[in-house]
Amino acid sequence: MYRIEHDWALWLLALIPLMMVMWWALMKWRKKARARFAESRLMLQLIPRYSENKYRWRFVLFLFAFFFLVLGIANPQIGTKLEEVKREGIDLMIALDVSNSMKAEDLSPNRLERAKRAMLQLLEELHSDRIGIIVFAGQAYTQLPITTDYAAAKLFLNMVDTDIVPTQGTAIGAAIELAEESFNFEEGGNKALIVVTDGENHEDDAIEAARSAANKGIKVFTIGMGTPMGAPIPIFKNGRQIGFRQDADGNTVVSSLNEEMLREISGLGNGSYIRATNASVGFERILDQLSGLEKSEFESQVYTDYEDRFQFFLAASFLFYILFLIMGEKKGKWVEKIKLFEE
């Protein structure tokens, strides 16, 4: 297991493209300045040992030195000690709709991306609860079993898209049933399911699935992604939008939020319904409601000891910087003889 102790330092890497642009501009200026001073043949006589290639290589060495210096400041660490620790929390499953209708853009940038960003923020706020992720369209699949590994949850969440499920549609009932199967009821404790969808259920009986989950003590919450007015579903090819989805008669399909069904599901599931907006999807409101529930105690394996690895990156940075200082801009006499750096 590894982590970055000072991940803010990685933003310094954004300076590298800026340095490259500034260096390119400096090269253009130097070239024009030399042209104004003397012709190229005369310049070779005035500064016969100057090497343009060595000047470029010095800059490359400097970039490598800066790159490894930033990594050293960030201090990558490797986990070396895995221990069992006791935690208290609830089991939380999130069922995320990945049907094509979630690409509608009545929420910015679209329904699915808005939901994913809110889920990433949710993971930042969780501390001791266990979380699992289910994706569903025409069928439901477990994307991430219940775990306390929030880093893995973020990784899997970033991979979610509409093409991750082979069968299109919206089977909310199947997602609720799969969540019900994913919980371990022998461990006790409170369990909750958050269904994130536009509510356009076409495949199964989501109402009955919610009733069954509630009978087993699972609180079912729903978050509506979209607006009642709806929006067309864009079609993309090679990353470019080429139009909107149409029905058999050639009419543009408009996907609308089905709030009535989502309210009914959450009502039967002893939870609540929240409509997402561009300002807030609603996870924080659900967390507030869940905070008052009884926590269950469970064991979790976590890394409790990390070893620093900054010294390797600082050593590499120092090495490249020394090479940068050693390499001048003049051709060496023996180099000049073998024409290694000759333009």
The token pair that represents 50 in the structure block: 């100057």
- Report pLDDT digits (tens) over 56-115: 888 999 999 999 999 999 998 886 655 555 667 788 999 999 999 999 999 999 999 999
Q: What's the pLDDT tens digit per position in 2-61?
A: 678 888 899 999 999 999 999 899 888 877 776 666 555 555 555 555 567 777 888 999
In the chain, what is the greatest distance between 2 CA atoms, to the nearest angstrom? 92
Spatial distance between the Cα atoms of 22 and 40, rounded to a whole number of angstroms = 24
Query: What number is the average pLDDT over the span 206-229?
Result: 94
Looking at residue 342, its pLDDT comes to 47
CA distances from 238 to 105, 183, 242, 281, 292 (A): 19, 39, 10, 29, 47
Query: Is the pLDDT reported for residue 226 higher than 90?
Result: yes
For residue 144, the SS3 value is: strand
Give the model's pLDDT for residue 264.
Answer: 94
E strands of the chain, at which residues?
2-4, 76-89, 91-97, 130-136, 140-147, 191-197, 218-224, 231-232, 234-237, 240-244, 254-255, 273-275, 296-308
CA dihedral sign of residues 145, 149, 154, 156: negative
pLDDT at 241: 86
Q: Average pLDDT over the chain, rounded to whole?
A: 84
- Res 130 pLDDT > 80: yes
pLDDT at 297: 61
- For residue 124, what pLDDT is reported? 87
**Rounded CA gap, 9 and 30, in Å?**
33
Region 280-295: what's the mean pLDDT? 83
Nearest-CA neighbor of 118 among 199, 218, 191, 225?
225
d(CA 42, CA 334): 23
pLDDT higher than threshold 50 for residue 335:
no
How would DSSP label each residue in 233-247? -EEEETTEEEEE-B-
Given this model, what pLDDT does residue 4 score? 84
Question: Given pLDDT bands bounded at 50, 70 and 90, which one contains residue 343?
Answer: very low
The pLDDT of 231-247, averaged and rounded, is: 88
**Cα gap 263→274, rounded to integer Å:** 9
More confident residue, 304 or 158: 158
Confidence at residue 188, expressed as pLDDT on a 0 to 100 scale: 66
pLDDT surpasses 60 at 230: yes
Q: Where in the chain is the domain with CATH 3.40.50.410?
A: 83-300
Of 13, 17, 1, give the one whose Cα is nearest residue 76.
1
Residue 273 pLDDT more than 80? yes
CATH 1.10.260.40 fits 83-300, yes or no: no
pTM passes above 0.85: no
Output the pLDDT for position 295: 66
Asked if residue 76 has a cis previous peptide bond (ω within 30° of 0), the answer is no
Contact by Cβ (8 Å): 50, 330: yes
Find the radius of gyration of the CA atoms of the chain: 29
Q: What percent of the chain has pLDDT over 90?
A: 48
Residue the block writes with tokens 């809110």: 118
Q: Which residue has the higher pLDDT, 270 or 334?
A: 270
| Burial grade of 334 (CB within 10 A; 0-12, 13-18, 19 or more) | exposed
> Is residue 64 a contact partner of residue 320, using CB atoms and an 8 Å limit?
yes
Give the separation between CA 179 and CA 221, rounded to whole angstroms.
Answer: 12
Quick one: 5 exposed, middle or buried, by C-beta within 10 A (0-12, 13-18, 19+)?
Answer: middle
- Give the closest residue to 168 by CA, choosing from 213, 201, 138: 138
Q: What's the token pair of residue 264?
A: 């009914």
What tokens does 236 get? 């993309």
Residue 331 and residue 337: Cα distance in Å, rounded? 10
* Mean pLDDT across 177-184: 92
Question: Helices in 159-229 by DSSP H: which ranges?
Answer: 172-182, 206-215
**pLDDT in the model for residue 30:** 75
